[in-house]
Homo-oligomer: A and B are copies of this chain.
Amino acid sequence: MRTPLERFYPLIPAGGVGSRLWPMSRAKAPKFLLDLTGSGDSLIRQTYDRLVDLASDTVMVVTGESHANAVTQQISELRGSDIVLEPSPKDSAAAIGLACAILYKRDPEAIIGSFAADHVIDPVAEFQKVVREAVETAATGKIVTIGITPSAPSTAFGYIRARTSLKIEGAPSALAVDSFVEKPDAATATKYVKSGEYTWNAGMFVAPAQLMLVHLEKNQPELFAGISRISEAWDTPQREDVMNAVWPTLPKIAIDYAVAEPAAAAGDVAMVPGSFSWDDVGDFDAVTRLSQEKSGETLTILGDNQNILTQTSTGIISSDTQRCISVIGMENVVVIDTEDALLVTNRKDAQKVKDTVAELKSRDLTELL
């Protein structure tokens, strides 16, 4: 009989442009393909490297068709049958559900783990320890979220309430989940953090593939039927034909609504807390903070532009051009220079970048997105 880890298959849904990181993150070069921390590796490569040691066989990636080349360039180890290319965006339930169905067909005892392609986690060893606990917990028949121990009463994340130990061997910190809660206001967030009963929902979870499919079948029968058809054909010569025929018919829904929340209500969800540092690098304020925590410097320069001159400035300057850039006397500035677009803002207004992207969309300037 195999241990839970011997049937563990991590998967990486790589979608989402990261519109608050415009104009660095674009439809053609989304956040997960960028090296936002100056580490030399893209976020998806870092995600893969964190997971590959834990994988019993392979790591699966689900991404948009247009990113096929970039992703295989980043992760040359990927086999063609382990990369699911979405012909069109269908939200997370279709993406993760299809990967589950494929893995379930290959290994009915598969335990899957879903990890976003564009988060930053440190240290890796601590993360892996938590995932191992989550895999042990999942093997008892649970959908296991990884809850991040809050470092502050953030209003940017949803929270997971969990209090009762599940007393699982090999997973001493696993708790039963009471409920998922949406992004709270500041007062509520403070109450949550003070109580010690809440962790951040980072969207990472581990579960038996079979249990995921049971919930999908119950809550989203149409979606379930579609991904079942595709998964039957996946490891056959009909893969592409069936994918192209069925994928466009799948309903668009987030995995949280399709599985996680109904499963929590049914008492099927557990949580393993993670005290590693975690960041979804949602905006340029986060990019700057992460870079500066690592470098200890107050001015971050990303990219290969050799012609950047600065005087008494702090913040972040990124350039993928070779234009001469002079920044003088700017505090906490954000200057993102690309061939066809330039952003100038400051760290505290970093969230508002999404409004610029919305404006570009409303003006139909799709080549800039």
In contact, B355 and A343 (Cβ under 8 angstroms): no
Number of interface residues of A (CB under 8 A): 34
Q: Is A360 an interface residue (CB 8 A)?
A: yes
Q: Which residue of B lies closest to A339 (CB)?
A: B323
In contact, B356 and A309 (Cβ under 8 angstroms): yes
Q: Is A52 an interface residue (CB 8 A)?
A: no
* Highest count of chain B CB atoms <10 Å: which of A22, A324, A329, A345: A324
Q: Which residue of B lies closest to A334 (CB)?
A: B328
Residues from 348 to 368 in A contacting B, C-beta threshold 8 Å: 348-349, 352-353, 355-356, 359-360, 365, 368
In contact, A341 and B325 (Cβ under 8 angstroms): yes
Q: Is A327 an interface residue (CB 8 A)?
A: yes
Q: Which residue of B lies closest to A333 (CB)?
A: B344
A348 to B311, CA, bound (A): 13
Q: Which residues of B sit under 8 angstroms from A341, Cβ to Cβ? A: 323-326
Q: Which residues of B sit under 8 angstroms from A22, Cβ to Cβ? A: 326
Q: How far is the CB of A263 from chain B (nearest CB, A)?
A: 40
Q: Is A128 an interface residue (CB 8 A)?
A: no
Q: How far is the CB of A306 from chain B (nearest CB, A)?
A: 10
Q: Which residues of B sit under 8 angstroms from A311, Cβ to Cβ? A: 349, 352, 355-356
Q: How far is the CB of A283 from chain B (nearest CB, A)?
A: 11
Q: How far is the CB of A179 from chain B (nearest CB, A)?
A: 36
Q: Residues on A close to B: CB < 8 A?
A: 22-23, 307, 309, 311, 323-330, 333, 335, 337, 339-346, 348-349, 352-353, 355-356, 359-360, 365, 368
Interface contacts beyond A307-B365, A311-B355, A324-B368: sample of 6 additional A-B pairs, CB < 8 Å, sorted by A: A309-B356, A311-B356, A328-B352, A328-B353, A335-B342, A337-B342
Mind listing 8 A-B residue pairs with CB under 8 Å?
Answer: A309-B359, A309-B360, A311-B355, A324-B368, A326-B344, A328-B343, A330-B344, A337-B342
